[in-house]
Structure 1
C-alpha cells in the first residue's frame, strides 16, 4: 500500500497537466500513488496523461461534476495513509511531500501540514511571493479570520482526519477549501513547513472570478463554522465578516473593470466598514473609492485608461493589509 495518495482533479487541462504531473513524479519521496480524476475533459487531457509512463499513475474518468466532487472521488479511491491534492495547473517543488510528511510524523497531534505559496504565470515564471504564514498548533481561531492555507494544492492530510471530518462540500463552492480546513482545524492541530513549496498559477482568467458566488459561499462557510465554534470565539464573527468583505471588495475591483463588479464592490465595502468601522480611517479607503468610481461611472475602456494613468492612486492591494488577524478579545 502506498504511504501517500496524491489526487489531481482535472477538467480540460491539456496546457498544464503534464507539467503538473511531472512536478509530482519528481518528488524526493517515491512511495505514493497519483490518482488523476478526469472530470469529463473534452480536450487532449486524457491523451496526454495516458502517454506518461509511470506505474504510480492511475487514471479515472467520470462525467463532469466539478472540482469538489472530483477530489472526493479521489479520496474514496485513495489507499495511502496521507492524502494530498494538487490542481491541474499548479506545481510543487521536489521536496514538498517529504517536508510535509516529516512535519506530520514529528507532530503526532497534527492532522494537516501546509507550506508557503509563491505565484507563477502562464509560462511558469515566478510572479512573486504568495502566502507565507507560520500559524501552527491549534489554528481554528486564526483560520476563521484568514484562510492562510491559501489554496487547495497545499495541504498534506492524515487519512484518518479526513475520514473523520468528511471531504469537500460541493454546496459551498468556491469556498470549499476554507470550509474543509476549518472542519479539520476544530479537531486537529496544523503544522507549517516554512518554505515556499507550492507554485500557484495566476491566469488572466482570474478577471472572471465570480464575486457574488464567493460572497454567498463564504457566508455559508462562516455560518457553518460559527455554529460549531465554542462560545469563547463567537466575538470573532464581526472580525471574520469584516476581513472577508475586505477580500471581496479587493477581488471585485481588481483586473479588467466591470461595472457590475464595481456596484458589488460598493456593497462589499459597506459591509466591511459595518464590521470594521476603523477602515474609514485608513488611507487606502480613498484609493478604493477612486477605483470604484472609475469602474462604475466610466465605460470599461475609459476606466482602464484612468486606472493606468493614475496607478498610484488606484493601487488598492494594501486593502488586504487591513485585515484584522489578532484573535485577542478587546
Structure 2
C-alpha cells in the first residue's frame, strides 16, 4: 500500500499527459501510486499511457463523465493514506509531494495542505509563453471564511488531503462542473484545518487561444457555485457575500481583459470593474485592481496594436528559474 495516491483524470490529453506524468515520476517523495482515470478519451491518451513503464501506474477507463466524476472514480481505486489530484495538463515541481506531506505530518489537526500556483501561459502547440505567480496567500488553520470570499487555492491540482478528511467530506459534486474545486475546498474547510507550503509548486497550464470561448460559461458556473456556497453558509457569515461578489467581478474583469480583446470583451471588463468599485470603493487601493484599471484604460484609449504593445511591456514574463518565484 502506497503512502500517497495521485489521481489524474484524463480526457483527450495526448498533448500533455506524458509531461504531466513525468512531473509526478520526478517527485523527491516516491512512495505513491499513480491512478489515471481515462475519462472516455477519443485520441491517443490511452496509447501513450500504456507505453509508460512504471509499476506504480494504474489505468482505468470509463465512459466520459467529466472531471468531478473522474476524480470520484479515482478515489474509489485509491489505497493511500493521503490523496493528491492532478489535472492532465498541469505540472508539479519535484518537491511538491514531499513538502506537503511533511506539513501534514507536522500538523496532525490539518486535513489539507496547499501550495502557491504559477500560471503557465502556453500557445496552441503547448509552448510556454510566460509564467505568472499567483498571490502569496498564507492562510492556515480554520480558513473557511477566507475561502468563502475567494478561492485562494486556485485549482484542483494543488492539494494533498488526508484520507480521513476526504472520507468525512464525500466526493466532488458533478453538478458544479468548472467550480467543483472551490465547492470541495469549502466543504473540507468546515471540518478540517488547512496548512500552506509557501512555495510555487503547481504549474497551471493556460492555453491563451482556448480561453476566449470559455469565459462566459465559466462566469455562469461561478455564479451557481456562489449561490450554493451561501446557501450552506451560516447566517452570521452571509455579510461576506458582498466581498465574494467583489472577488468575482475583479477575477472576471481580468479574464475579459486577457482573453477577450474585442469590443464586447472590453465592455464586459469595464462593467465588472465598475461593479466591484460600486460594491467596495476601497478596492481601488488594491494593486491588482489598479493594474486592471490601467489595462482597461489602455484598451479604451489606444488603438489595439499600440495598447497590446504597452501591455506586453507590463507583463514582464517569468521563467521557471526566476527568483521572483521563490518564497
- Shorter-chain TM-score above 0.5: yes
Q: Contact 2:269–2:296 at 8 Å: present in 1 too?
A: no
- Measure the CA separation in 1 of the matches of 2:173 and 2:30: 30
Matched, 1:287 2:299: no
- Once the two structures are TM-superposed, the CA of residue 315 in structure 1 deviates from its matched residue by 6.6
Alignment CA distance shift 1:309-1:30 (3 Å) = closer
Structure 1 equivalent of residue 21 of structure 2? 21
Structure 2 equivalent of residue 326 of structure 1? none
Equivalent residue runs for 1:43-122 within 5 Å: 43-120=43-120, 121=122, 122=126
Structure 1 equivalent of residue 4 of structure 2? 4
Matched, 1:237 2:241: yes
Alignment CA distance shift 1:47-1:316 (3 Å) = closer
Q: Contact 1:28–1:94 at 8 Å: present in 2 too?
A: yes
Tell me the secondary structure at the aligned position of residue 175 of structure 2: helix
Structure 2 equivalent of residue 218 of structure 1? 222
Alignment CA distance shift 1:205-1:74 (3 Å) = farther
- Measure the CA separation in 2 of the matches of 1:258 and 1:160: 48
Please report the TM-score for the alignment, with normalisation by the length of structure 2. 0.84
Structure 2 equivalent of residue 127 of structure 1? 131
Alignment CA distance shift 1:286-1:78 (3 Å) = closer
- Measure the CA separation in 2 of the matches of 1:284 and 1:30: 41
Q: Contact 1:242–1:274 at 8 Å: present in 2 too?
A: no
Q: Contact 1:250–1:316 at 8 Å: present in 2 too?
A: no
Q: Contact 1:252–1:261 at 8 Å: present in 2 too?
A: yes
| Residue from 204, 207, 212 that aligns with 2:208 | 204
Matched, 1:189 2:193: yes
- Once the two structures are TM-superposed, the CA of residue 55 in structure 1 deviates from its matched residue by 1.1
- Measure the CA separation in 2 of the matches of 1:199 and 1:247: 19
Q: Contact 1:84–1:157 at 8 Å: present in 2 too?
A: yes
- Count of matched residue positions in the alignment of Structure 1 and Structure 2: 309
- Measure the CA separation in 2 of the matches of 1:127 and 1:110: 30
Structure 1 equivalent of residue 262 of structure 2? 258
Tell me the secondary structure at the aligned position of residue 134 of structure 1: coil
| Residue from 269, 277, 292 that aligns with 2:281 | 277
Alignment CA distance shift 1:119-1:250 (3 Å) = closer
Alignment CA distance shift 1:237-1:50 (3 Å) = same
Structure 1 equivalent of residue 305 of structure 2? 305
| Residue from 236, 243, 246 that aligns with 2:250 | 246
Q: Contact 1:284–1:316 at 8 Å: present in 2 too?
A: no
How well do the aligned residues superpose, as a CA RMSD in angstroms? Answer: 2.7
Alignment CA distance shift 1:77-1:280 (3 Å) = same
Q: Contact 2:295–2:311 at 8 Å: present in 1 too?
A: no
- Once the two structures are TM-superposed, the CA of residue 247 in structure 1 deviates from its matched residue by 0.7
Flag structure 1 segments of 5+ consecutive residues without an equivalent. 295-301, 318-330
- Once the two structures are TM-superposed, the CA of residue 280 in structure 1 deviates from its matched residue by 6.5
Flag structure 2 segments of 5+ consecutive residues without an equivalent. 317-327
1:217-259: CA deviations, max 9, x gaps? 2222222222332333222110111111111111112135134
- Measure the CA separation in 2 of the matches of 1:192 and 1:95: 14
- Once the two structures are TM-superposed, the CA of residue 130 in structure 1 deviates from its matched residue by 2.9
Alignment CA distance shift 1:209-1:77 (3 Å) = farther
Please report the TM-score for the alignment, with normalisation by the length of structure 1. 0.84
Deviates more, 1:134-143 or 1:163-172: 163-172
Alignment CA distance shift 1:304-1:172 (3 Å) = farther
